Structure 1
Amino acid sequence: MSTFTPHTVPLPGGFADNTVLTGGDGTPVVFLHGLFGQSWEGFLDDLAAGHKVYAPAHPGSAEPEDLTRLDHLWDLLLYYHDLFERLGLDRFDIVGHSFGGMVAAEFAATYPERVRKLVLIDALGLWRDDAPVRDHVVVAQPELPGLLYHDLEHPDVAALLAGMQDPTANIEATVHVFSTVASTSHFIWPIAERGLAKRLRRIKAETLVLWGAEDRLVPAVYAEEFAAAIPDARVELIERAGHVPQLERRAEVTAQIGKFLA
């Protein structure tokens, strides 16, 4: 059973408040969500068993007007700097998935003294012509589940997809997904590469790169690209998992992250 509390965090600069989901107790861990919206994922319950977990929403996903104040990636990093200051976080661990992994890596490279340990899960941010990242914005809707998940018959995946079959059943959730896609695409479309490869060398945090071995959205070859560029980084491929291994292989991902952050 999920046990988290939403906390409204006011921010300077005219931004809307950020509703940060928090749970657990212990050393602080920030989770930055992926392309399709803030949620308290099941593996965060596992992580919160030994840590104080903070799961903010990416700016613009709740209030689109925020995007008018975020012209480029540097503005986004300053936004998170202010948010973490308001949360009273000085030195902490970051776990980032997909788009959130890109932001986590950028933050760790820009503020290397702030991040103790870094976990990147199927992160965006790099580009190889021989292994292009698929464009999730323009892909046909029926094709999207196959890009995100390896096993569409997995009970948790099937339950999630069943809830997406009728967008009118939960209009609020549908709007939230579209708003989040718009907010993340603001920084990565049409290609997520913004020079991160040149900055990864600045990361001082011990880094774990987790990747779904069957990721069809961001191919697993990028796991080695991240690890090769980040000092003191190692890779763990999650077999039989796609772009969201923390859903398809929750127990394995939880065990890997828990051991690494201990």
Structure 2
Amino acid sequence: MVVPTHRRLRLPPPVRPDLIDVHGTPVAVRRRGAGPALLFLHGAGLAGRWLRFHELLARRADVVAPDQLGCGDTPMPDWLHGFDDLVTHYDDLRRTLGLHRPFDLVGYSFGGWVAAEFAVTYPHLVRALVLIAPVGLAPPDGPPVAVDPFAATDRELIELTMNDLPAVGALPHAARRRGLHADQAAYARLSWRRPYSRRLPRLLRRVTAPALVVVGGADRYVPVEVPRRYHRLLPDSRLAVVEAAGHALVVERPDAVADLVGGFLDGIGSR
């Protein structure tokens, strides 16, 4: 499936976070909307933002958007050493928030990797899985990402991940001022030595929920084979391409991506 692009850069109303105590760890959570519960996991560099993409999803779902550990207003705990710790944390978070029924899980970039790890560990908790420009798998040839994100400057990362530079204006001013590297603590701790998982390809067969993999048609940061590999390995998945969009497609093309995600989730509900 290939969808056209749309240029919509309007800023949504701000959503202030609530600090939720999750077994001693304060977690900043933004929540808005009504309908089926949807947990959104952001990518590195997008903590603390309530984007137009979130606002569009909140028109049809109860969107729960936490700042990941070590990102935004959520501190880095001493006990975070691996993805198993992060996945268990999100199980604790959903219990704390009262999400006892299967919910929709949407992850972008690094958040897509985390979402996939959660779905293979707790498949019975995920009603539908959406991975947007996910990282975490290695392509057959070449590096898993185009540049070392911890060595690149903020400007280099922006130019590599966004094909529509004016879309940077869709980020809140405070978030732009803070910079991308400030929100990469968890990503760095978990993927500094290896920015992909060797075990995840074997485990994706455990996902029981229908899945949607969304990729930017002109992603220059993550090789296209990475999301395509997710698509092939997930038992029940669809692949959607947003043409001309870069890696930061939730910022560049929020309407197109939200339409894809919403349409997919609506279809799951009608099964």
> TM-score surpassing 0.5?
yes
Seen in structure 2, the aligned counterparts of structure 1 residues 57 and 171 have a Cα distance that, compared at 3 Å, is closer
- Unaligned regions of 5+ residues in structure 1, if any? 164-169
Task: Say which of 14, 18, 21 aligns to 1:10.
Answer: 21
State the partner residue of 2:188: 185
State the partner residue of 1:166: none
Q: State whether structure 2 residue 76 is matched by structure 1 residue 76.
A: no
State the Cα distance separating 1:248 from its structure 2 match. Answer: 1.6
State the partner residue of 1:26: 35
State the partner residue of 1:200: 204
Q: State whether structure 2 residue 257 is matched by structure 1 residue 253.
A: yes
State the partner residue of 2:215: 211
State the partner residue of 1:167: none
State the partner residue of 2:115: 104
State the Cα distance separating 1:65 from its structure 2 match. Answer: 4.3
Task: Say which of 140, 147, 151 aligns to 1:138.
Answer: 151
- Unaligned regions of 5+ residues in structure 2, if any? 1-11, 267-271
Aligned AA (2:188):
S
In 2, Cα distance between the equivalents of 1:223 and 1:257?
A: 16
1:115-167 CA deviation, whole Å, 9 max, x = no partner?
A: 00011000111012514213211124432222111222xx323x25895xxxx
In 1, Cα distance between the equivalents of 2:19 and 2:139?
A: 39
In 1, Cα distance between the equivalents of 2:19 and 2:52?
A: 22
Contact kept, 8 Å, 2:127 with 2:210, in 1: the verdict is yes
State the partner residue of 2:53: 43
In 1, Cα distance between the equivalents of 2:60 and 2:28?
A: 22
Aligned AA (1:203):
V
In 2, Cα distance between the equivalents of 1:214 and 1:190?
A: 27
Structure of greater relative contact order (alpha carbons < 8 Å, 6+ residues apart): 2
In 1, Cα distance between the equivalents of 2:52 and 2:160?
A: 21
Q: Which runs of 4+ in 1 moved over 4 A?
A: 160-163, 170-173
Contact kept, 8 Å, 2:67 with 2:74, in 1: the verdict is no
Aligned AA (1:33):
H
Contact kept, 8 Å, 2:161 with 2:248, in 1: the verdict is yes
In 1, Cα distance between the equivalents of 2:20 and 2:163?
A: 36
Q: State whether structure 2 residue 135 is matched by structure 1 residue 124.
A: yes
What count of residue pairs does the alignment treat as equivalent? 249
1:25-66 CA deviation, whole Å, 9 max, x = no partner?
A: 111001100010321111111110111000001112235441
Identity between Structure 1 and Structure 2 (%): 37
State the partner residue of 2:3: none
2:241 counterpart SS class: strand
State the partner residue of 1:113: 124
Question: TM-score with structure 1 length normalisation?
Answer: 0.88
Question: TM-score with structure 2 length normalisation?
Answer: 0.85
State the Cα distance separating 1:256 from its structure 2 match. Answer: 0.6
2:17 counterpart SS class: strand
Contact kept, 8 Å, 1:64 with 1:179, in 2: the verdict is no
